[in-house]
Amino acid sequence: MRDQSGWSSASFANILRVTLGLVAGVTFIYLVMRNVHIAEVGTLLADAAIAPLVIAILAYVADFLLRAARFWAMLLATTGRRIPLRPTIGPFIASFGVSDVLPLRVGDGFRVLWFNRQFGIPAGTVIGTMIVERILDLVTIVILGGISLAFVVSSAPPALVWNFQLVLGIAIAGGLVLLFAPALLCRVMDRLFGHIKLAPVVMVISALHATSEAVIKIGSWHRVVWLTALSLALWLLESVVLIGAWVSLGGSLDELLKPFLAFVFSTLGTLVPSLPGHFGSFEFFGIQAFALSGVDTTTAAAVILLAHIILWAPTALFGILWLLAGAASKVHHTA
């Protein structure tokens, strides 16, 4: 009976998450669409230059290959084992593709399951490594957001800019504590909330412990600093996608910080519940960033949409093909 109750609770939570993402995604799309002239966006997209888009796609491919190598390097540290690089690249990229087409970030579960079955890595170790990976990404994208916000936004109301900077500062501080003092944070959380047995609290504390163990196994703060620098470089490389879309649609080379700011805020928008592939939230926050820097809504929408397609389609297609290839291989071996 208890198992059935647990299953029902998990099912309800999943249904709630899917519903929340659907409602939020549709709301964001509505907010974007009501201020955008679709015909004008289509006209802009029809005149897109090809060369900047080719550069954007190549940068995105390089970005994901390097991200796969970063995750592999982190696994070497957290497992203390010699794991071959090549067989880890495909499933790493496929995990993002799966999350791009299915709800509930199913790709994360796929990655944990694959590395657990293929290499015998404990699920907790994979999860802890993934959390550290996400923290590195969050801290570094927020750092870039703060820098670009300071340089780009000059005409926005000071109070609005200050609020953005406050949120970014809190995110940076929280991320740095998780990276450099996770054990201390775990002790504080255990002391304050360890007696609470509610499932969400237990999950958060368990995730913190997994993160703490992963950070400790990664080793010295020198390595954490190196991983942070690498993460900054990866975001700069990925930003070429949105910058490429900007240039492709006639954006000025003298104003590249504007699409860079939009890239940062679109990326932060993916933290908000939305549709699979982050459609809705990505566009909404990117357009808001463009508005802060004085770019008209039609141009902003065209640039963001073009960049989003480039960011979404390759990994989504790769994830689908990876799953189909795996299913075909199983059928072949069974036969």
294: left (phi over 0), alpha (psi -120 to 50) or beta: left
pLDDT value of residue 12? 73
Structure tokens at 43: 């006209």
pLDDT value of residue 27? 96
Mean pLDDT highest for which of 116-125, 194-203, 236-245, 265-274?
236-245
Distance CA 312, CA 307 (A): 9
pLDDT value of residue 330? 64
169-185 pLDDT tens trace: 777 777 777 777 666 66
43-71 pLDDT tens trace: 999 999 999 999 999 999 999 999 999 99
Helix residue ranges per DSSP H, the chain: 2-33, 38-46, 50-79, 86-101, 106-119, 123-152, 158-180, 182-193, 199-218, 221-248, 257-269, 281-292, 297-334
Structure tokens at 176: 């740095």
| Average pLDDT of every residue of the chain | 87
Q: With pLDDT > 70 as the criterion, what percentage of the chain qualifies? A: 86
Per residue in 61-81, is it b (16+ CB within 10 Å) or e — as a string?
eebbeebbebbbbbbebbbee
pLDDT value of residue 1? 45
Task: Check whether 279 has a pLDDT greater than 70.
Answer: yes
Average pLDDT on 143-148 reads 85
Average pLDDT on 283-312 reads 96
Residues 6+ apart with CB under 8 A from 332: none
pLDDT value of residue 214? 80
